[in-house]
Each structure stands twice: as C-alpha cells, then as structure tokens.
Structure 1
Amino acid sequence: MKASPEFRRQLAGYSLTTAEILYRMPDHPALLQSYIWQEYDLFPEFPALRRFLDFWSRTLDGPLFKVTVGHCRLIKPAELRALGGEFYLH
C-alpha cells in the first residue's frame, strides 16, 4: 500500500494552509468579496500561496484588499498524559 501524495508532502514539512482573500468587486469597488484558498504549503514562506496571489494580481480584475493566512502542522509529536485510573468496558 502506497502513502497518499498529501501524506508524503506532510512528511516533507508541508502543512495545511488556509487563506481568506478579500478583494474588491471590479464593477462595484465599494463591495468586498471573500474567497477561501486551501492547499499544503511550506511555513513561513508560503510559496504556493505567493504563486497563487501573483497569478491573481496578474490575471484577475478584482484587486486584493486583505489576505488572512492560517496554517496547522497536521503531523506533530503526540501529546500524551498519564491518567490516574483504569476504565473497563463490559
């Protein structure tokens, strides 16, 4: 059984990155529209997000207003706690 490409990327240091992109509507500049982008990317440089935002600036008409980025390392050391009791089922 082979590991998924996403799992291999996580082992290589990529983490799940989500960006909320606020941009102005081209024909209604007073209105803001929201776009959610999500991909595995490298923290803190975010090369995939930067490529996407460069593409957006070059190609699309809606000028960027604000970009909020969040990321989470999905593979990290386990958090273990010792419990002071035992539980039995049946």
Structure 2
Amino acid sequence: MQQSETELMLRGYGLTTAELYYRMPDFRSVLNSFIWQDYDLAPDHPRLFKFIEFWQDSIEGPLHSVRFTHRKLIAPGEWRNVVGEFRVN
C-alpha cells in the first residue's frame, strides 16, 4: 500500500536528494550527472543505497561519485492539530 508524503514525514522519513556523477558508456572521459530524489530514512538511507545498487547492476555508465543531502521537513513531535483561529483587528 502506497503511503502519502505526509504520512512518510510523520513516520520520520526525510527528503533525500542525490546527485550522481557517472561516466558516459561510449566516452569514458565525459562525466554526466543525474538527480535522484525520494523520501528516505537517515542515517542508513536504504532507498538511496537500493537505487545505487540498481544503477551498478543495470546501467552501463559507471558511477564516478555521489553527493547527497537529507532534510527532515517535519518530525512527529513538531506537528499539532489546530482546532480554532483567533483574529485580531
């Protein structure tokens, strides 16, 4: 069952963005980049490493390097339900 992004963030997932540099299959001296983004759990990053394993097994261009960042947008303790609103004129 697919979960919404909000449900994932409330369970502790954060947005992971990775920039993969790889060598072109036909021209090994040429580097190209690919941006990958998904919700993942820090510090183990299972989805990122699963994608890197997929790349190494299925894509012809060998990886040169990977840079990534992880950002928790909200955490379970930061969310609260607001029932009302007061307006001051």
1:5 matched to 2:4? The reply is yes
Question: Which residue is equivalent to 2:85?
Answer: none
Q: TM-score, normalised by structure 2?
A: 0.80
Query: Within 2, Cα distance between the matches of 1:59 and 1:34?
Result: 17
Give the Å deviation of 1:11: 0.7
Deviation at 1:17, TM superposition (A): 0.4
Name the counterpart of 2:57: 58
Q: Which residue of 2 aligns with 1:48?
A: 47
Q: How many residues matched?
A: 77
Q: Which runs of 4+ in 1 moved over 2 A?
A: none
Aligned to 1:21: 20
Structure 2 residues without counterparts, runs of 5 or longer:
80-87
Quote the RMSD (CA, aligned, Å).
1.7
Deviation of 1:69 after TM superposition, in Å, equals 0.7
- Structure 1 residue 32 displacement after superposition: 0.3
Q: How does 1:28-43 map to 2 (within 5 A)?
A: 28-43=27-42
The percentage of aligned residue pairs carrying the same residue is 45
User: Rg: which structure is higher?
Assistant: 1
Gaps of at least 5 residues in structure 1 are 79-87
